[in-house]
Structure 1
Amino acid sequence: MGNELDKSMCQKKVQLIKESINKVIIGKSDTIDMLLTAVISKGHVLLEDVPGTGKTVMAKTFAKSINAEFQRIQFTPDLLPSDVTGINYYNQKLGEFTFRKGPVFGNIILADEINRATPRTQSSLLECMEEHQITIDGETRILDEPFLVIATQNPIETSGTFQLPEAQLDRFIMKLNMGYPDKAEEISIIDRFLLESPFDTIIPVCEKEDIINMQAEAKNIYIHSALKEYIVDVVNATRNLKNVSIGVSPRGTLTMINAARSYAYIQGRSYVVPEDIKKLAVPVFAHRLVLKLGMTREDNRELFIEQALESVPVPTEEWS
């Protein structure tokens, strides 16, 4: 294989999507790469950050750039599962039950402040995220593709929140933090938004079908057997860490394989390299760790993933 992909039309559009989002979101190239990696992997993203850092704007810009339907769900303690998925109601005019779609019937779903909803409502997303379908009153409905859930939660406020259960955390391909911009970036944000919102100028640079084609093409990215073994060794290392009760699950292993191929794809390569796995390790693995009592700070999770990486020798091969 060559060093670079013989780029298809869809693969070239990856750069157009990045450029489109960068017109609105400044200084978050890594986050944009991770978001693209998630959608090409058919995964979902948990964004944990303080309000006002651009989470909603980034999700809306991404949806607009690929001409996809954007839906926002504001999670609150009184939100019901049917408010998310939809409901069958009796239509008196027609004399029959009619299904009214919930906001989950979109392409890019922003689940805002997901940890403010009750566990029952949170779990209503589980089937959607895992199976890309929803079952209501015994009838299964297939969700439109591409389907990406971007869930947000505030890391500071804990009053009136319900911690996401491990089963649901494990269904997010990665957990990201956008963080604050630096001084130069924040000045650029002021200048860019001074007269009008650049979001209003965004036009689609590709179609939803292009994303579906990207997902198919990414499956052809080559990953060397030594790198598969490397991923498994890192995963096993997380299971043997002193302060970790439960390490990365086999689902996490498969997730890393898919994410690494998708990340290599958006970088324009036809094969995965060890740096891809190192880059993805914290966002893909850290939130899957269940820590022992007294070690539950988020930075501890990241530290433990770094320790697992350091404990495993990096293989050296001809990756292509």
Structure 2
Amino acid sequence: MISPAARDALEGWLAAQKAIKGASVNTIAAYARDVADFLSFMTGHHGGTQGLGALARISTSDMRSWMAFTRAQGVGPRSLARKLSAVKGFYRWLSEREGFEPTAVLATRSPKFQRKLPRPLNPEAASAVIKALDMQSLTPWIAARDQAVVTLLYGCGLRISEALDLTGADLPVGTALRITGKGGKQRIVPVIAPARAAVERYVHVCPFDIAPDGPLFMGARGGRLNPRVIQKVVERTRQQLGLPASATPHAMRHSFATHLLNAGGDLRAIQELLGHASLSTTQAYTGVDTARLMEVYARTHPQARD
């Protein structure tokens, strides 16, 4: 049971994350679960409803107890680190509003875990996935839809959510698209001819009217397409092609970045195309290693060529 004051504070923080930072619906839902679970634990841990005063007095020992309890529930280090990050974000906001010192919470160390680097497909495998998608449905317009979505992921480096957020107002697709990514950040991405052709083919055979203010990609009944549909069809395709489980829709975005870099693309430019705030994130996406960076350095830096 969470106290009304704590629940109001949580709702206020979530509203701020959505309004100021432009957090997505899924991100807000995850934040809500993680912080609500934390507040519920503290209620039971202290044997009573936690008002704002009690939350301000949470100690290092309390934080250790929560982390131990969460791990005992089968939550892995990566997920626990995500939960702790949400709790810290909530406490930064709450402490500023209520005027208390959040050191015990903010000083809590995140558990160590091995980061899973994305595994892009090679160009042949990426091409094979896109071609095979055309044969995954007996309904021609659905097959064309699925192929168009995945072609945008690979051809433009879009997140699946970004592709499915496109509307009829984006038609006809030209040589570039204005994409709104994480945090409401906008970027311009070039659209290669095969991606434009795939979208045009889908629009031509789609049985529903695509309104300017409605979704471009529709589900079988005419509503907004669920990303899980694309995830499932790609999963079925990669199984047929004998590709590893890492061959997901998001892997097509990884592949876009890696293949651009391997063709001589600039890492900063790729960062802009992907909509990453941090260059280190782009480096992880592209699978760049030190040897590759040194090769680029040796080939392009004026001093290195002397």
Same fold (TM over 0.5): no
Larger radius of gyration: 2
| Structure with greater helix percent | 2
Q: TM-score, normalised by structure 2?
A: 0.26
Higher relative contact order (CA 8 A, sep 6+): 1
Q: TM-score, normalised by structure 1?
A: 0.25
| Structure with greater strand percent | 1
